[in-house]
Amino acid sequence: MEKLKIRNLHKEFTVHTRGGLKINGYHDINFELNKGEFLSLYGPSGLGKSSVLKALYRTYTTTSGEILFNYEDGSSLDIAKASESEILHLRKEHLGYVSQFLQVLPRISAVDIVAQPLIEKGESENKAKDKAKEMLSFLNIKEELFDISPLTFSGGEQQRVNIAKGIIAPKSVLLLDEPTASLDKTNTNKVIDKLLEIKKDGVTMIGIFHDMDCMKRISDKIYDMKEKRYADNH
Ligand SMILES: Nc1ncnc2c1ncn2[C@@H]1O[C@H](COP(=O)(O)OP(=O)(O)O)[C@@H](O)[C@H]1O
Ligand SMILES: [Mg+2]
């Protein structure tokens, strides 16, 4: 990915179970970022931050506007209008999404969950598991939990497993919806350290944070969803 450009993005939700009631999602959203940059979406709850991330991942469709994903070879794709198969390809090769909550099948261990993206990328099972353990240890998950399903973990532990899985084999663009929401200061900083590391490797990220310090520490740009402009990042 060379550049990601969001132009005049607008979303109106239609609630079919309420006779087609229209709900304003977001409007007039404009921002862009280059390879390796971190942009945060900022603003009060209900302003459409999560919905914009979902539009970028195309979990949600967009009412109007463009989401231009420029590839390094000069070609580009408008995510807002791309076909389902183009989106599947984009997600497989270039675009990752770290949701707010861990969603996993029962009876799969934390290590296996975190190793999976590496195995899909072609890493051997042993090596993938070693790297997964390293990542879990870095994020302060106790070793005695490694071989257990994270479904019984605490909220903060689950969130760290979710992040570990989301960033262990990062694609060129990563979307992060409040990845540190239920973490204490120490673990939040650990997550930010890891994100800074993958940013150095050239991964482009768009994130949403509750914590202002942490948002300022990692962001190159902050887009204010209320004022519809970049905020001062200092
Ligand atoms: N699937 C949906 N159907 C209808 N309304 C939705 C849907 N998803 C989000 N919304 C509405 O869009 C608005 C923005 O929500 P959201 O993107 O979650 O905001 P934020 O992440 O900034 O708190 C809210 O009013 C929310 O109720
Ligand atoms: Mg949200």
| Atom 24 of ligand 1, nearest CA residue | 46
What confidence tier does 21 reach under pLDDT thresholds 50, 70, 90? very high
Q: What is the pLDDT of residue 196?
A: 97
Among 22, 23, 29, the mutation site with the greatest number of ligand 1 atoms within 8 A of its Cβ is 23
Ligand 1 and 13: CB distance under 6 A: yes
Q: What is the pLDDT of residue 234?
A: 66
Q: What percent of the chain has pLDDT over 90?
A: 96
The CA distance from 135 to 4, in Å, is 29
Whether the pLDDT of residue 202 is over 70: the answer is yes
Please state the rounded mean pLDDT for residues 203-211: 95
Please state the rounded mean pLDDT for residues 31-46: 97
Which of the ligands is closest to the CA of residue 224?
A: 1
pLDDT in tens, 142-172: 999 999 999 999 999 999 999 999 999 999 9
Ligand 1 and 21: CB distance under 6 A: no
Among 9, 14, 51, the mutation site with the greatest number of ligand 1 atoms within 8 A of its Cβ is 51
68: how many CB neighbours lie within 10 A of its CB?
15
Closest CA to 178 of 205, 133, 210, 146: 210
Please state the rounded mean pLDDT for residues 22-29: 95
Structure-block tokens of residue 59: 């979990």
What is the 3 state secondary structure string of 94-142?
CEEEECCCCCCCCCCCHHHHHHHHHHHCCCCHHHHHHHHHHHHHHCCCC
More confident residue, 76 or 101: 76
Ligand 1 and 25: CB distance under 6 A: yes
* Residue 45 Cα: closest atom of ligand 1: 23
151: how many CB neighbours lie within 10 A of its CB?
13
Please state the rounded mean pLDDT for residues 112-137: 97
The CA distance from 216 to 211, in Å, is 9
Mean confidence (pLDDT) of the chain: 96
Please state the rounded mean pLDDT for residues 50-72: 97
pLDDT in tens, 81-114: 999 999 999 999 999 999 888 999 999 999 999 9
Q: What is the pLDDT of residue 112?
A: 98
Ligand 1 and 23: CB distance under 6 A: yes
Q: What is the pLDDT of residue 182?
A: 86
Question: Cα angle at 44 between 187 and 178, to 5 degrees?
Answer: 25
Which of the ligands is closest to the CA of residue 60?
A: 1
User: What is the arrangement of strands in the sheet containing 173-177, beginning at the earlier edge strand?
Assistant: 95-98, 173-177, 204-208, 38-42, 221-224, 229-231
